[in-house]
């Protein structure tokens, strides 16, 4: 029987911390003289109380380390519990949202997906806008810790190849997680502050700069306006591009850089592949826009650069309705969202390193076919890749494809059209944000979807953010028998 007390203890503490974070938007509404501050006061009191009770009731079961089963349950349990409490301000707030909408918004925020069901953001109380930004900011730093500490140990989706990069944590997950999180937190906060200052210098007001800095560094994509970046100064797009790219790089490289070692950052093949791929796609879309006269000069290049980087990093901002750019551009941008950023970053989707491993494996297989008696080993960053890493990566691609297909069918069964079903499934599973079409495309949102579709998409956000198998494994009998 698995002892759930260590899991409950950590979840309880994190729920309480989430409740404390609700005090910030409460203070903003108080400073604004709005009467919405009791919403956050009530939500904070309830969240802190329940989180503290859970933590205290499970405290006697805390040990130094976690078993593999407990770690799987913790990674999934945290991302399931926090959106429930994160939805409270939306349920009892000025939006008067139903729980399905509030949960969808909170899940989208904490998983840094960026899909929204809310309209009228321009008139929404600043406290709720800040809360959306806080959810994504907390989710961003949380997923970095999960990607660097837990997933490599759980051997999920080929992440074990980064075990040495994320420090040796086996058997001591919680103590080492605290050490790693403290180092990353400093970098994360510093990047957020720099991004906010850069936004202010581009013409944003202080509040917009703060919220957008949170959602940019988290590669989340929540904006303060229905038109997203279309309502902001053009110079802000260039600031966003810079920091979206930085947030999509492995944060362990920033830790090494802050320690005076720049060589790992400069030699990381994953970073090289990410930057080259983004550059090629940006050039392709920019040339297409100029050819098709979707804008002219600097404007066409800017929107191509901004929207391509936004989709590739999974941020999900939009500065233009790229559905109007023609089928070629829409197709390219759809698959761009399925590339993703680097492992150990706030970026989402499949991740660049998996494609590198996939192509290395394909190349080795072609060489073996051509020379049956030769020995060809797939290599990554100059190192031979073990069989278990390759199997894990191939399993990830298989599970991603199957899940995408089943989710698309499930959404279609709720009455959605083909484009909305497929793009919505891809958007949620890869945590991209906007989908395709008039309904959930860059000019729309997810508010008009039926409740069943919203629940399915919220579940897909969770599954995709935790690299699929970290969630699927807890539904197997072998997991509970172990």
Q: Which of 46-55, 147-156, 448-457, 460-469 has the lowest mean pLDDT?
A: 147-156
pLDDT band at residue 183, thresholds of 50, 70 and 90?
confident
What mean pLDDT value characterizes the chain? 90
Q: How far apart are CA 454 and CA 294, in angstroms?
A: 33
**pLDDT score of 151 more than 90:** no
pLDDT digits (tens, 9 = 90+) for 401-460: 999 999 999 999 999 999 999 999 999 999 999 999 888 999 889 989 999 999 999 999
| Paired strand residues for 380 | 383
**pLDDT score of 65 more than 80:** no
Q: DSSP for 14-40, please give it.
A: HHHHHHHHTHHHHHHHHHHT-TTHHHH
**pLDDT score of 165 more than 70:** no
pLDDT digits (tens, 9 = 90+) for 204-240: 999 999 999 999 999 999 999 999 998 899 999 999 9
Give, as one character, the DSSP assignment of residue 115: -
Q: In this structure, are residues 346 and 372 in contact, taking their beta carbons and an 8 Å threshold?
A: no
Dihedral (Cα; 345, 230, 201, 195), 10-degree rounding: -10
- Please give the structure tokens belonging to residue 193: 């502050």
Residue whose entry in the numeric block shows the structure tokens 């938007």 = 25
Q: DSSP for 259-297, please give it.
A: TT--HHHHH-HHHHHHHHHHHHHHHHHHHHHHHHTSS-H
Cα 53 to Cα 9, 22, 70, distances in angstroms: 9, 18, 20
Question: Helix, strand or coil for residue 71?
Answer: helix
pLDDT digits (tens, 9 = 90+) for 288-312: 988 887 767 888 899 999 999 999 9
**pLDDT score of 64 more than 80:** no
Q: How far apart are CA 192 and CA 118, in angstroms?
A: 25
pTM of structure: 0.92
pLDDT band at residue 96, thresholds of 50, 70 and 90?
low
Cβ burial 89-110 (10 Å sphere, 16+ → b, else e): bbbbbbbebeebbbbbbbbbbb
| pLDDT reported for residue 176 | 62
| Average pLDDT, integer, range 190-199 | 97
Question: Where does 59-201 have alpha helices with state H?
Answer: 68-86, 88-91, 99-110, 126-145, 151-154, 173-201
Nearby residues of 411 by Cβ (< 8 Å), 6 or more positions away: 420, 421, 424, 425, 453, 456, 457
Q: How far apart are CA 476 and CA 402, in angstroms?
A: 17
| pLDDT reported for residue 170 | 38
Q: How far apart are CA 157 and CA 400, in angstroms?
A: 10
């Amino acid at each position: 029987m698995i002892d759930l007390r260590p899991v409950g203890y950590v979840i309880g503490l994190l729920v309480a911390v989430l409740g404390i974070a609700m005090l910030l938007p409460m203070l903003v509404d108080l400073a604004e003289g709005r009467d919405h501050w009791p919403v956050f006061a009530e939500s904070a009191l309830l969240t802190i109380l329940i989180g503290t009770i859970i933590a205290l009731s499970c405290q006697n079961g805390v040990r130094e380390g976690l078993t593999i089963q407990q770690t799987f349950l913790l990674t999934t349990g945290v991302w399931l519990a926090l959106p429930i409490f994160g939805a409270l301000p939306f349920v009892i707030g000025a939006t008067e949202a139903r729980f399905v909408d509030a949960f969808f918004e909170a899940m989208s925020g904490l998983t840094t997906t960026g899909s929204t069901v809310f309209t009228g953001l321009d008139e929404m109380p600043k406290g709720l806008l800040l809360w959306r930004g806080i959810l994504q900011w907390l989710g961003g730093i949380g997923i970095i810790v999960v990607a660097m500490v837990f997933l490599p140990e759980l051997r999920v989706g080929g992440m074990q190849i980064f075990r040495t990069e994320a420090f040796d944590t086996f058997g001591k997950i919680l103590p080492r997680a605290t050490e790693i999180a403290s180092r990353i937190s400093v970098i994360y906060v510093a990047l957020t502050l720099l991004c906010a200052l850069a936004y202010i210098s581009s013409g944003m007001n202080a509040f917009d700069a703060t919220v957008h800095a949170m959602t940019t560094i988290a590669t989340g994509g929540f904006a303060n306006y229905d038109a997203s970046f279309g309502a902001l100064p053009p110079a802000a797009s260039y600031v966003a591009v810079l920091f979206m790219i930085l947030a999509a790089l492995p944060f362990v490289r920033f830790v090494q850089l802050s320690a005076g070692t720049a060589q790992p950052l400069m030699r990381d093949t994953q970073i090289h592949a990410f930057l080259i791929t983004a550059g090629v796609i940006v050039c392709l879309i920019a040339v297409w826009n100029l050819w098709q006269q979707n804008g002219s000069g600097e404007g066409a290049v800017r929107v191509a650069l901004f929207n391509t980087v936004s989709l590739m990093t999974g941020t999900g901002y939009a500065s233009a309705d790229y559905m109007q750019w023609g089928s070629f551009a829409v197709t390219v941008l759809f698959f761009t969202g399925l590339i993703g950023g680097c492992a150990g970053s706030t970026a989402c989707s499949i991740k660049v390193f998996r494609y590198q491993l996939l192509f290395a494996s394909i190349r080795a297989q072609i060489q073996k076919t051509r020379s049956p008696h030769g020995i060809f080993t797939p290599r990554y960053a100059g190192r031979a890749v073990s069989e278990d890493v390759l199997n894990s990566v191939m399993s990830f691609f298989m599970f991603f494809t199957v899940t995408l297909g089943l989710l698309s069918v499930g959404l279609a069964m709720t009455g959605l059209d083909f484009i909305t079903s497929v793009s919505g499934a891809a958007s949620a599973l890869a945590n991209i944000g906007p989908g395709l079409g008039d309904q959930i495309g860059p000019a729309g949102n997810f508010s008009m979807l039926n409740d069943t579709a919203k629940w399915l998409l919220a579940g897909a956000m969770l599954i995709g953010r935790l690299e699929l198998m970290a969630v699927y494994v807890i539904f197997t009998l072998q997991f509970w028998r172990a």
